[in-house]
């Protein structure tokens, strides 16, 4: 069974724009998240688990500066890296759900999509 769970959160960030660690000016986005998942047929428990996980995950970042919250205190907080980090965490935390892709939008008309490699 395939399903999508969506959420959003408001957070600021400063992207590191060069190898010297130069940061762009702090700015805010209303981050939009879409997690496209598959679960075994009739496993609504996995769907509920994934929804609860995404709600908790979003609450870590909502109202914060991504640069100040792990893993983005060490990883450049771009939409691409937010998508990759979320995919990895869902995979680790909701073992009965398989991540097909994660879409993260940070501005109107822009989103990044991360497709994990099949294992």
Query: Whole-prediction pTM value?
Result: 0.92
Query: Is 60 exceeded by the pLDDT of residue 80?
Result: yes
Q: Tell me the average pLDDT of the chain.
A: 94
User: What are phi and psi for residue 67, nearest 5 degrees?
Assistant: -60, -20
Q: For residue 1, give Cα distances in angstroms to 26, 41, 69, 87, 96.
A: 40, 5, 33, 18, 11
Tokens linked to 99:
């991540």
- Domain 2-114 carries which CATH code? 3.30.479.10
Per-residue confidence at 119, pLDDT binned at 50, 70, 90?
low
- What does the alpha-carbon distance between residue 105 and residue 8 come to, in Å, rounded to a whole number? 9
pLDDT tens track for 22-64: 999 999 999 999 999 999 887 889 999 999 999 999 999 999 9
The residue extents of the domains of the chain are 2-114
């Amino acid at each position: 069974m395939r399903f999508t769970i969506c959420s959003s959160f408001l957070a600021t960030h400063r992207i590191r724009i060069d190898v010297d660690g130069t940061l762009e000016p702090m700015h805010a986005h209303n981050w939009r998240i879409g997690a496209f998942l598959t679960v075994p047929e009739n496993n609504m428990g996995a769907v509920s688990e994934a929804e609860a996980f995404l709600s908790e995950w979003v609450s870590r970042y909502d109202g914060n500066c991504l640069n100040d919250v792990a893993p983005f205190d060490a990883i450049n907080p771009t939409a691409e890296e937010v998508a990759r980090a979320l995919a990895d965490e869902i995979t680790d935390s909701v073992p009965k759900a398989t991540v097909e892709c994660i879409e993260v939008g940070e501005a109107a008309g822009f989103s990044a999509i991360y497709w994990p490699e099949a294992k």
